[in-house]
Structure 1
Amino acid sequence: MTIFVGTASWTDPTLIKSRKFYPPGCNSAEARLRFYASQFPLVEVDSSYYSMPNGSNSVLWVERTLPGFVFNIKAFRLFTGHQTPRDMFPKDMQSALPQNGKKNLYYKDMPEDVRDELWRRYFEAIAPLHDAGKLGAVHFQFAPWVTSAPDGRAHVEHCADVMAGRHMMAVEFRNRSWFDEKHASSTLALERERGLVNVIVDEPQGPANSIPSVWEVTSPSLALIRLHGRNHETWNIKGATAASDRFNYDYSNDELSELSIEIQKIAKSVSQTHVVFNNNWENQGQRNARTLMEILGAAAKSPLEAGP
């Protein structure tokens, strides 16, 4: 039973501004990542969702982290069905984008050759992480409007086809239709059939863009748990200027103890378990991650033990 605990991002603006995690003088990108990797064995890269990842950054991340440190990396927003501003595409490709007068573009808008080139560049950019044995899962957080209807399912299967034989694909849905009474069984069957990792979430319940915690393993290799917090008031907050505005929640020790029981149960069924705290307001995620590691005890990998 191997449990890696970490957080979503190590560079959130509120984390840096708070001065509650990084020690004095830890001001450069290199120093921050080196310090983070001395505290945790796992991190989730969120910047690759907003814009295409950069291969030179991947090389630096490999150099600045301990052997066995693991990066889970988010899929580019276009791939997951989200609206994508034109300036988030590589500059040299922007002239090839559809000239339809729209500020935001979607995957369905893209010519096939543009799609293929974006996928190629994405894989090229994360190759240094994979080659160094530091790439965990590629995390696909599908848009709330990607439903369990045939067109939504077809898009998920398309992404699975592209990813097949390349990297481990983890799937997080943001539309509750995937796990309603009618579709829950078929959703899990799809994930098992395609070897996709079912992302187990802890998040506010009720809104159409939240899903229940489905503690099911769909890949023998990995279980991925993402803890978003339980702040109903901010889940769909209007006018948020950063993701941390939405995920402002501090887990209590009792809540973490309850979660640890489920995490250890699920960890018995897979080779490796990743727990990612996405409650990224100031240092909440880092504090909660440390507490969970203490609760898990020997089951949680320490950074110096983060080998295969």
Structure 2
Amino acid sequence: MIKIGLTGWGDHPSIYRTNSTKRDKLFDYSGHFPIVELDTSFYAIPSAQNIEKWLNETPQNFQFVMKAYQGITGHLREDNPYETRNDMFEAFRQSASIFQEANKLAMVLVQFPPWFDCTVKNVNYIRYVKQQLDGFQVAIEFRNRTWYSAERKEETISFLKEHQFIHTVCDEPQAGIGSVPFVAEATHQKALVRIHGRNVFGWRNSGSTENWREVRFLYDYNEEELSDLANKIKKLEQQCDEVYVLFNNNSGHHAADNAKTLQQMLHLDFEGLAPKQLDFFEGEF
């Protein structure tokens, strides 16, 4: 089974009704896609109140891929707002548990930064994360090429299998050590594919300009590229039960349209979506 969605639901104008407000966006989104990446949890662990709101706004079978808090992954540049590392993990577990108890948690995504290379220290930290997130299905995403070097690739995949991690397969610019190749290998009954675009210039110049995030993910996949991705995703599906595909190339609002095109290429019809309500006075009588 293949499920397709986007990273976040707040910035995809092509899928909203014309009279939608900000608070309608998740409902509108869930009329098109069965999964979404909750990326706000990377910046701050969400409150129970917000989570309950999101749960109530989505259909019964809708699922969230919850991105791990930046203090967990090593991205945090400011002081950690939690007194101890255990406090931080406990706060995250409590939030994730609300999704899980509602049967709406697809997985927790732990995306490590480009400087998180393949070392004994970092392997041990991944083990620690596994221990701290026991009871949750956890996807690991690397941003450093050393994990997939000729000497380490097989060991990396075996390690993920041994510890029952979900392998995150990435389509991204091939821009040196801070990027990873597309390695279509499943290590769990689920696989995650995150599609970041192929803007090599934006990837290499991260942080060098004020709008680097907009530049980094500015990319519109053409039909040939999407067809190639579709074939690779179908082969990945043969290795596991479920493949979750998330488009993250949304600086120019391309993610939703690319996702829709891929859905058509794969002949997917998602069931249990929210009803696409007609705008006022719209429709035939």
Name which of 22, 25, 29 aligns with 1:32: 25
Larger fraction in helix: 1
Moved over 4 A (4+): none
* TM-score for both structures, normalised by structure 2: 0.90
* Distance 1:263-1:303 versus aligned 2 partners, 3 A rule: farther
Could you say if the C-alpha distance between residues 56 and 124 of structure 1 is closer, same or farther in structure 2, counting changes exceeding 3 Å? same
Correspondence for 2:228 = 258
Q: Which residue of 2 aligns with 1:49?
A: 42
Mind listing any 5+ residue stretches in structure 2 that lack a counterpart?
A: 275-285
Q: Give the alignment partner of residue 141 of structure 1, picking from 108, 111, 114.
A: 111
Amino acid at match of 1:22: Y
Structure of higher RCO (CA pairs closer than 8 Å, 6+ residues apart): 1
Partner of residue 61, structure 1: 54
Deviations 1:105-145 (A, max 9, x none): xxxxxxxxx11111111111122211111101100110111
Following TM superposition, by how much is the alpha carbon of 1:240 offset from its aligned partner in structure 2, in angstroms?
4.0
Match of 1:228 in 2: 196
Q: Which residue of 1 aligns with 2:178?
A: 209
**Percent of counterpart pairs with the same letter?**
30
Alignment size in residue pairs: 272
Pick the aligned partner of 1:22 from 8, 16, 38.
16
Q: Look up the SS of the partner of 1:265 in the other structure.
A: helix
How much does 1:243 deviate?
A: 3.2
1:3-61 deviation line (CA, Å, top 9, x unaligned):
1100011124xx4xxx44422221222x1000000011110011111122222111111
Do 1:199 and 1:223's aligned partners in 2 also have CA atoms closer than 8 Å? yes
* Cα deviation 1:279-302 (Å, max 9, x = unaligned): 01242100101111111114x534
Partners of 1:27 and 1:236 lie apart in 2 by: 36
* 2:9 is equivalent to residue 10 of structure 1: yes
**Whole-Å separation in 2 of the counterparts to 1:84 and 1:157:** 23
Over 3 Å counting, the alpha-carbon distance change for 1:27 and 1:255 in structure 2 is: same
Q: Aligned partners of 1:67 and 1:244: how far apart in 2?
A: 33
State the match for 1:109 in structure 2: none
The answer to whether 1:288 aligns with 2:258 is yes
Matching residue within 265, 276, 284 for 2:246: 276
Q: What does the per-residue CA deviation read over 1:230-258, in whole Å, with 9 as the maximum and x for residues that have no partner?
A: 11111133224463331010011111111
2: CA distance, partners of 1:64 / 1:189: 39
* Secondary structure of the structure 1 residue equivalent to 2:30: helix
Q: Equivalent of 1:183, from 137, 152, 165?
A: 152
Maintained 8 Å contact 1:62/1:128: no
Letter in 2 for 1:142: F
Q: How does 1:111-190 map to 2 (within 5 A)?
A: 114-164=84-134, 166-190=135-159
CA contact (8 A) 1:147 1:153 kept: no
Task: Decide whether the 8 Å contact of 1:37 with 1:303 is kept in 2.
Answer: no
SS for the counterpart of 2:169 is strand
Give the Cα–Cα distance (whole angstroms) in 2 for the partners of residues 136 and 58 of structure 1. 15
Q: What are the Cα deviations for residues 67-114 of structure 1, in whole angstroms up to 9, with x where unaligned?
A: 11010010001111113323x73xxx4xx4xxxxxxxxxxxxxxxxx1
**Structure 1 contact 227–276 (Cα < 8 Å) conserved:** yes
Say whether the 8 Å CA contact 1:227–1:275 is kept in structure 2. yes
1:210-229 residue CA offsets vs partner (Å, 9 max, x unmatched): 01111101012x01111101
- In 1: Cα distance, 2:220 partner to 2:164 partner: 33
How has the CA–CA distance of structure 1 residues 295 and 283 changed in structure 2, closer, same or farther, with 3 Å as cutoff? same
Work out the CA distance in 2 between the residues paired with 1:200 and 1:208.
16
TM-score, length-scaled by structure 1: 0.84
| Residues 1:218 and 2:187 are matched in the alignment | yes
Task: Work out which of the residue numbers 254, 270, 273 in structure 2 matches 1:301.
Answer: 270
